Amino acid sequence: MLPASLARVRACRGWRRIVPGGWALLGPEPCPRWRQSIGTQAGGLRAEKGGGESKEVSVKRAQREETLLSAARQVKEAGRDFTYFIVVLVGIGVTGGLFYVIFKELFSSSSPSKIYGDALEKCRSHPEVIAVFGESIKGYGEATRRGRRQLVSHVEYMKDGLKHMRLRFYIEGSDTSKRGTVHVEVRENPEGGRLEVCYIFVDVDTYPRRTIVVEDNR
């Protein structure tokens, strides 16, 4: 019989192995240490593979979270830009409406302010009005709660299918003891649509009372 050490060496070399009853041809077989080494390496590979998969999952999760955050940020910025756009549109609409009202009030031939201005100029240039009230005739409207005389009283109505408007305002000149009330009526021209003067007359509110006819086209 071979010594036990030689038997172990041969067994580790994978050629023969001593078993009870004699020799037996078993073929190549790794020794226990090789098995342990191979098992350790396999475990390390599995651990390394598992760690790599975990890192890959973490990276993908981080990328997905970053993508979601980026999308949410873009949606928030888009909503904020849309809000600013709506505010700008509203501001432009309000500004345009104000300009339209101002233009219509100041420059339109059918606006009360334009009719008032034209009638006041005719009163200022009328000789009889100047003789009663003096030079530097100024006009003003109804008094407000704050005491300002800026409102020109006017009424619009329809007559014979045409638009009419009546205005009333007040005048005074260099002779502060005299005051007058101006009555104006205009009607729509059926051909051109412009408002034309029907009459302008002034009631002298101080003694001696009388009425001055500035223009009468009735």
Q: pLDDT tens across 61-74, in order?
A: 777 777 777 777 77
- Check residue 50 and give its pLDDT: 53
Pick from 49-53, 79-83, 118-122, 139-143 the range whose average pLDDT is largest: 118-122
- Check residue 26 and give its pLDDT: 47
Which range among 138-142, 148-152, 190-194, 205-209 shows the weakest confidence by mean pLDDT? 148-152
Pick from 49-58, 136-145, 168-177, 185-194 the range whose average pLDDT is largest: 168-177
According to DSSP, the residues that pair with 137 across neighbouring strands are none
Instruction: Provide the H-helix boundaries in the chain.
Output: 4-13, 32-107, 112-124, 127-133
Res 183 pLDDT > 90: yes
Pick from 65-69, 100-104, 145-149, 211-215 the range whose average pLDDT is largest: 211-215
| Burial class, 118, CB count within 10 angstroms (exposed 0-12 / middle 13-18 / buried 19+) | middle
- Tokens matching residue 5: 């050490």
- Per-residue pLDDT, averaged over 74-82, amounts to 76
- pLDDT level of residue 98 (50, 70, 90 thresholds): low
- Per-residue pLDDT, averaged over 74-81, amounts to 76
- pLDDT level of residue 92 (50, 70, 90 thresholds): confident
- Check residue 5 and give its pLDDT: 47
Res 16 pLDDT > 50: no
- Check residue 64 and give its pLDDT: 75
| Backbone dihedral angles phi then psi of residue 91, each to the nearest 5 degrees | -60, -40
